[in-house]
Amino acid sequence: MRLYAVLAAAVPLVASLWSNISWEPFLAVAAVLLGTGEVAQRAENRKTAEALELPSSWEAARMRQADLTDLEHRQP
């Protein structure tokens, strides 16, 4: 991901250093790079949100232990 950010920052810099070069292709490349980075970031954010919704293994063990305790207390 950092490579995309470096390329997106370098493209306008190169276009400004060499002013005799047409800047429109550089603008298109920068837009594509930034868009790709945004898509990747949204995918990572989605995976993080999904992981946060899952109970941790400790929480799952605690819930199973509570269920077992309830079963033990119900037996005569």
Where are the domains positioned within the chain? 2-74
Return d(Cα 65, Cα 53) in angstroms, integer.
Answer: 21
Q: pTM (2 decimals)? A: 0.50
Query: What token pair was written down for 11?
Result: 């493209």
Residue 66: its H or E element? helix 57-74
Q: How far is CA 75 from CA 28, 65, 66, 70, in A?
A: 71, 16, 15, 9
Return d(Cα 14, Cα 30) in angstroms, integer.
Answer: 11
Per-residue pLDDT of the chain (76 residues; tens, 9 = 90+): 677 778 777 877 887 888 787 878 877 887 888 888 889 899 999 999 988 887 778 888 898 999 999 988 887 6
